[in-house]
Each structure stands twice: as structure tokens, then as C-alpha cells.
Amino acid sequence: MVREVLGFLPLHGGGIIVDGTLGTGGHSLAILQHSPAPARLIGFDRDPESLEFARQRLQPFSDRITLAQGEFGEITAVLAGLGVSTVDFILLDLGFSSFQLASPGRGFSFQRLDPLDLRMNRREGAPLKDWLARAGETEIAGVLREYGEERWAGRISRALIQARTEGRLNDTQDLVQAVYRAVPPRFLEKRLHPATRTFQALRILINDELRQLERFLEQFLELLTIGGRVCLIAYHSLEDRLIKRAFRNLEQGRAPFDDSLPGPLAVEPAGPKVFRRLVKKPVLPGAEEVLLNPRARAAKLRVGQRLGTG
């Protein structure tokens, strides 16, 4: 959603722009090409392989960029390490990239034989195979239900335990076959691969993605200058609900996850108005983008702005 993001980017006056999910640098490249020369871009990503790819891609703008490895959930600490305390624009494009999907050996694609890994940073943490080797049936089902909103979580969990017991849970194709055995044939969806929600849930678990987002939402407002903007692109309902909830609460003058007074009843802000949503409903990708990149069809962009305190 590069065009949509650029539409919310304050293109005059330069300032500091942060891309907290740099990936391979696609959004950052477009921002640098369209922003004034004085603008400085700080890009970071938890994936060192993607970061290195982006570094080469953004080389023509090396005098205007600062790149670092880091997690967006630790944005305050990452920026502090670079000597930065306030910024003018923050972008997060959540989920995983096409680069990660296409990279062999990482396990993000259920259409290829790969190890059961799913880590965005293969230098840290344990791969999926380790977790599947010790997780119980109830635990697996809970993850699939909570993070994947998977209707057949119980059946898939039992199939995974059976496959593990039989020594048939060693790679991504073993995982896919277990899902196929679990889902009743008449309920197999034509538009959505039956393993999609399972891989989503396990990827979120292994990378602690929702907690990363929660931590970011608790920090970002203090980093924005007055008038500064934040653009967040989510790809599934769990992420989008967290963003919607946090933005609503911040607009009402409360903490991001303070629901002590339900939103619809909060006519007046609970505190000083320091944040507003620039779009009440998420911005969706255009038909042309979806045609070129079918994965973009699930994207939802929400945008907010820091206000003064008085």
C-alpha cells in the first residue's frame, strides 16, 4: 500500500521518518524518492537477512538513512540507541514479507519442503520444530484457536500429535499433510489453503508478534512530535483489532488498552486530547494492487496523529 502511505506522509519540512518493519526496503525506497531531501529515514527490522537486502537496495540514499537491527516492539530503546527521542512519522507494515516467503529453509511457505522454523530472526529463539516436539494437544489447539481463529483447531492438534508420535512431523510438508488429514474434505476451502490459518498461528507464536504490537502501541505516542503521524498496516483481524482498540482509547484520552469505560459510552475524553484518528475506517488496497499482489487483499491501513496537550 505504498501509494496510500505516501498520501499520509508529511512531504514538506523534512523531519525524521521511521520504518519499523523495514523488510526489503520497498516502502522506505518510495518514501525516500518522494520526501524532501532534508528528511532523514531510520529503518530497522528484526530479520538480519532482510535488513542486509534493504541496505543494498537503499544504497543510493545512504547519506539520508540510518539502518539497524531491532524489533518494532522495542522502538523506544532502538531509537534511544541511535540518539533519537522524537520522530515525525512512523510506519509499520506488519506480517511477513515476500522475501521471507520466498527464502528457502525458513519454513514460511506451506507450498515448499522446508524445515519447521518460522523464525523471523534465525539467530535468536527456538524454531517451531522444538515447540512442536514438546507442546501438548490442548496447548497446540489453544494456539491455533487464538492466533489462527482456526475452526478445526482441536482436530488439527490431534493430527499433529499423532504425526509426531509416528515420526511424521519433521518438515513443512508433514505439517501440511497433518492439516489435510484433520479438516473434513467437504469443508476444504477453494480460495484459502487449508494450512493458512495453522501457519499464521504458529508464526505469530514463534515470533511473539501480537505482544510485539502491544508493546509498540504502548510506546509510539510518546515518540511522535506534535503533528506527527503513525501508519499501521495489518493483515489479519487479531492485529487490526489491537490497533483499532488502542487508537480508539488514545483518541478518548486513555491508555491504549484501558477499557474501564467502554468506547461507545465515552462521549467526552477521559483526559487531554493528544491523539486523533485520521481515518475512522481502515484504508483498503486498490483493485490494481490486489491484482498485482493477491496477498495485499487482506491489508488494512489505519492512521493517527499526535495532537498538542492543551
- What are 127-186's pLDDT values in tens digits? 999 999 999 999 999 999 999 999 999 999 999 999 999 999 999 999 999 999 999 998
Average of per-residue pLDDT across 229-258? 95
Q: Are residues 221 and 193 in the same domain?
A: no
The Cα 42–Cα 89 span in angstroms is: 10
Rounded Cα gap, residues 269 and 273, in angstroms = 7
CA 119 vs CA 34, 50, 144, 186, 204: distances in Å = 33, 13, 17, 33, 10
pLDDT band at 12 (very low <50, low <70, confident <90, very high): low
> What distance in Å separates the CA atoms of residue 201 and residue 43, rounded to the nearest whole number?
27
CA–CA dist 261, 210 (Å, integer):
23
- Do 172 and 214 sit in the same domain of this protein? no
Q: Give the span between the Cα atoms of 68 and 42, in whole angstroms.
A: 8
Residues 124 and 54 in one domain: no
Gap between the Cα atoms of 66 and 248, Å rounded: 32
Q: What is the pTM of this model?
A: 0.91
- Alpha carbons 211 and 43: distance in angstroms, whole number: 21
- CATH, residue 140: 1.10.150.170
Collect all residues with Cβ–Cβ distance below 8 Å to 189 and sequence separation of at least 6: none
Give 309's pLDDT tier (boundaries 50, 70, 90): low
Same domain, 201 and 113: yes
Of 167, 187, 207, the position where a domain reaches its end is 207
Yes or no: say if 130 and 146 are a contact pair by the CB < 8 Å rule.
Answer: no
% pLDDT > 70, the chain: 95
pLDDT at 215 over 50: yes
Do 87 and 230 lie in one domain? The reply is yes
**pLDDT value of residue 183:** 95
Using CA atoms of 167, 175, 104, 55 in order, give the dihedral in degrees to the nearest 10. Answer: -120
Helices and strands in the chain, H and E counts: 13, 7
> What residue has cell string 527490522?
45
User: Which 3-state string (H, E, C) describes 115-179?
Assistant: ECCCCCCCCCCCCHHHHHHHCCHHHHHHHHHHHHCCCCHHHHHHHHHHHHHCCCCCEHHHHHHHH
**Pair (200, 112) in one structural domain:** yes
Q: What is the pLDDT of residue 271?
A: 60
CATH number for the domain harbouring residue 64: 3.40.50.150
Contacts (Cβ under 8 Å, ≥6 apart) of 235: 94, 95, 295, 298, 299, 300
**pLDDT at position 310:** 44
Sequence-distant contacts of 77-85: CB under 8 A, at least 24 apart: 78/44, 79/18, 79/42, 79/223, 82/42, 84/16, 84/42, 85/223
- pLDDT of 93 higher than 90: yes
Q: Name the burial class of residue 112, with classes exposed (0-12), middle (13-18) and buried (19+) by CB atoms within 10 angstroms of its CB.
A: middle
> 213 and 95, same structural domain?
yes
Q: Are 121 and 164 part of one and the same domain?
A: yes
- Of 207, 236, 269, which closes a domain? 207
Do 92 and 213 lie in one domain? The reply is: yes
Domain boundary among 207, 236, 262: 207
Q: Which domain holds residue 138?
A: 104-207
Instruction: Tell me how many domains the chain contains.
Output: 2
89: part of which helix (H) or strand (E)?
A: strand 87-93
Contact indicator for 270, 254 with CB cutoff of 8 Å: yes
Q: What residues contact residue 152 under an 8 Å CB cut-off, 6+ apart? A: 182, 183, 184, 187
User: What tens digit of pLDDT does each residue of 185-198 get?
Assistant: 988 887 889 999 99
The pLDDT tens digits for 248-280 are 999 999 999 997 755 454 445 556 789 999 999
Average confidence (pLDDT) over 286-306: 85
Q: In terms of domains, do 200 and 164 share one?
A: yes
* Residues 230 and 187 both lie in one domain: no
Same domain, 76 and 87: yes
